[in-house]
Structures are given as C-alpha cells and as structure tokens.
Homo-oligomer: A and B are copies of this chain.
Amino acid sequence: MAYPNEKLSEEKVFKDPVHRYVHVRDKVIWDLIGTSEFQRLRRIRQLGTTYLTFHGAEHSRFNHSLGVYEIVRRIIDDVFQDREQWNNDERLLCLCAALLHDLGHGPFSHSFEKVFHLDHEQFTQAIIMGKTEVNEVLRKVSEDFPKKVAEVIAKTYKSKLVVSLISSQIDADRMDYLQRDAYYTGVSYGHFDMERILRVMRPREDQVVIKESGMHAVEDYIMSRYQMYWQVYFHPVTRSAEVILTKILHRAKELHLDHYPFKQQPVHFYSIFEDKVSVEEYLKLDESVVLFYFQAWQEEEDKILSDLCRRFLNRKLFQYIEFNPNSQMKMWMELTQLFKKAGIDPEYYLVVDSSSDLPYDFYRPGEEEERLPIHLLIPNGELKELSRQSEIVESISGKKRTDHKLYFPQDLIDQLSSKRKVKEQIRSLLQRDKS
C-alpha cells in the first residue's frame, strides 16, 4: 500500500490520562512520533514555570501534542468522515498538522521568545521544512506535503476548514490543553463536555461550526478557558518565576556580550545570544540543558546571575503588588531610585509584568489579530455568531482583561540593615499598595 495510506498491522495505543487512549493506525503518524524532533518535546514542559505554583504541572508538550492529534483524529474519523463538505483527502494533513503544531517550542518558550525575540511558530515551520527527520517522513508522503503541513500550522493553507481544526477559538489545541492542564494541576476548572462538542461539530466550507444544540457546552468551554487563564496560566507566582527566568537569560546574554569569563561557558546559547540561531542549534536546546546551566551558574562570580539562578532553582521567588501603570508610574520611578540607593539593581529586581486575555471575540475585520468567531448552525441551515445567541458569551465578548503586577525580592529588602532609611522608604511604598 502507498505510504500515505499505509496502516500499522496492529493499532498502537498510548494510555492517556485525559483521553483514556490515543489511537494510532497510520504509519506516517507512527513514524513522526518516532523522530528525534518530536521526542524532544518530552524535554519541554507544557506549562513552563507553572510547576513552581502547581506542583503537578510537570507534563510535557509531547503529552499535549498526542492529545491534539487524538482530538482531530476523533473529529475526522467519528464525526466528519462521511459528511458533505468534508474532503477526506485532507485527513492525513490534518493529523500531521495537529501532531506537529507545537514542534518549534523551545524550553520555557514564553520567556525565551520575549528575551530573544524568537517565534516558536517560525521554528515549527523551519523544522518541518528543514533537514530533519520529521521532514524526511513527511516527504515520503509527497514532495509538497511538508509545505502543506507548514501552511496549515501557519494558517495560510487554502482550506480554512482544515486550518480551523487546529487554530480557531474552539480548536483541538485549546480543547486538549484546557483539560490536560486542569488534570495535571488538579484544579477543578477546565472541565467541559468535549464529547458533546465533538458530536455537534460540522464541517462547513471555511470553518468548523457547532450545531446550535451544543451551545451550552460551548459556553461552558469558554468559561473554562476564562477560569484557566486567570486561575492557572496567569497565576502571579508562576509569573514571578517567569520574571526571574527572563532576567537570568537577560543577564547571561549581557555578560556574554561583555566577554564575562563564565566558569560554565554558555556554549548552547552562543548563537541565540548573538542572534544567529540555526534550526540545528535550536533543536539542541531543551529544558534539561537550560536547567543544567542554571545549576552551574549558581556558582558564577557575578552576583546577579548566581542569585537569580539560585532563586529559580530553589524557588525563592519575588513578591508582588498590584500595579496600575496609569496612576503609579511615579511610585515606580521613586522605587527605581531607592533600589539604586540600596544597591539592588532595579533592572533585574524591580519588574513590572503584565498579562492580558481576551476570552472570546466576535469578528473584527481588518484588525491586527483577526479572530474567527465561533458560528452556530441553526436547524434551518443558517449560521449565527455565538455571542448573538448566548447571553453569557455576549457578556464577556470582546472584553480584554489586563493585569499588571510589580515584582521585587522582599528578602533582599528585609536584609538592608545598614540602610535603614532607604529600607523604610521602600517598604512604605510597597506596603501602601499591598492589599
């Protein structure tokens, strides 16, 4: 049988806590899972620094990628297969894109991307198109298959229906991570009736739509997402660890560019510090490597670098207060001066971090980040935009919520015994706004 249609002689299953089992029958999928680029996702946590807040959140992107694949497989094989408007020739493409959609994630991606202006989506493309094992498997399907997979992930593929399975406001990616992250953290948010949502999904020319009878399950999904963002993903303690991580990378880069004599030279980071990283070098970076350096750097002479590494590894995080960028800029300036007086470098130790999320949005054509809204399929065949049918969704639709926090090391401030006045001034500024 031709490779694209080749089936394993016996179905392989992965025991999965969220979907019970992940089923693989296609040889192509099995081969992709076996590539070194895909196995590398085992060494990259799904939720970055979240494990320092929720100790259960130690699961990897490997875990999640299998889950997204399984959801897409079920949508296609159990729901779409024989329906009009669905072209089953796209099946393998969808499965591959689902499996590989996170392939370009680096260690602690959020922080790395911020500091080094990297973009994991570009790396995903590059790995799929580059000289990699993944590319080799995909090319066996057909010469232009890697490109198609890359396009689906880049959302530029011609069939919007195919794209919407992987990236939309109700895609397999979100449905997997909400449930998975809830499972591993142990929080009670993140539950919604995915079984029902899958059953009411219908293929339409340019998107997946939801039968109206499933509206309440979708509402529940959107509320779950909202809660997960604010309860888990934007948890202030997680962000404290992220702030420190970011500052470590910052410091190390700066020292490297300054030719600082590291005891443990940041060999794996050279190209990234110098802004000329290749796919090959990028693939060598995983969280083991990062943690290896952080451990070593605890013993560097540079006080800032070693202190920040110790903080990260031993979870001596920064404290925080709410921060209002409109009304408190002056306070921040004052604090910056006081920190300098106290000998605590504010660039590394006085950090504002902001998180914001838009729980659901209707369609705003032409805006920077267009989001395709969720459409309900009414029994008469019409489509209606979700927020017009659901009061709950309407009520949060288009409302971006932002949260700012100011992070600082309480312990260093408490130790300022020889600078009692500065210490008191800092404390009083930080206290005033602590609730």
Residues of chain A whose beta carbon lies under 8 Å from any beta carbon of chain B: 13-18, 20-21, 34-36, 39-40, 42-43, 51, 54-56, 58-60, 62-63, 66, 183-189, 191-193, 195-196, 199, 216-217, 219-220, 223, 226-227, 230-231, 284, 286-289, 291-292, 295, 310, 313-316, 378-380, 391-392, 395-396, 399, 401, 435
Contact = CB atoms under 8 A, between A and B. Distances in A.
A17 B435 CA distance: 30
Instruction: Determine which residue in A34, A43, A63, A186 has the highest number of CB atoms from chain B within 10 A of its CB, and name it.
Output: A186
Contact of A191 (B60, B188, B217, B219): B188
B288 A17 contact: no
Given A227-B220, A395-B392, A396-B392, A36 B314 contact: yes
Closest 5 CB pairs of A and B: A395-B395, A17-B186, A288-B291, A292-B292, A188-B193
A185 B191 CA distance: 16
A56 B17 contact: yes
A192 B186 contact: no
B284 A289 contact: no
A435 to B, nearest CB: 5
Contacts of A189: 193, 216, 220
A101 to B, nearest CB: 17
A404 B219 CA distance: 21
Instruction: Determine which residue in A51, A66, A226, A314 has the highest number of CB atoms from chain B within 10 A of its CB, and name it.
Output: A314
Contact of A223 (B186, B223, B230, B286): B223
Nearest to A52: B42
A135 to B, nearest CB: 16
Contacts of A435: 378-380
B291 A295 contact: no
Contact of A15 (B66, B186, B230, B284): B186
A34 B399 contact: no
A16 to B, nearest CB: 6
Contacts of A313: 36, 39-40
A69 to B, nearest CB: 12
A58 B43 CA distance: 10
B231 A227 contact: no
Contact of A399 (B292, B314, B391): B391
23 contacts: A13-B199, A14-B55, A17-B56, A20-B186, A34-B314, A39-B313, A42-B51, A42-B58, A55-B60, A55-B63, A58-B58, A189-B216, A189-B220, A191-B191, A216-B227, A216-B230, A223-B223, A226-B392, A287-B288, A288-B288, A288-B291, A289-B292, A391-B399
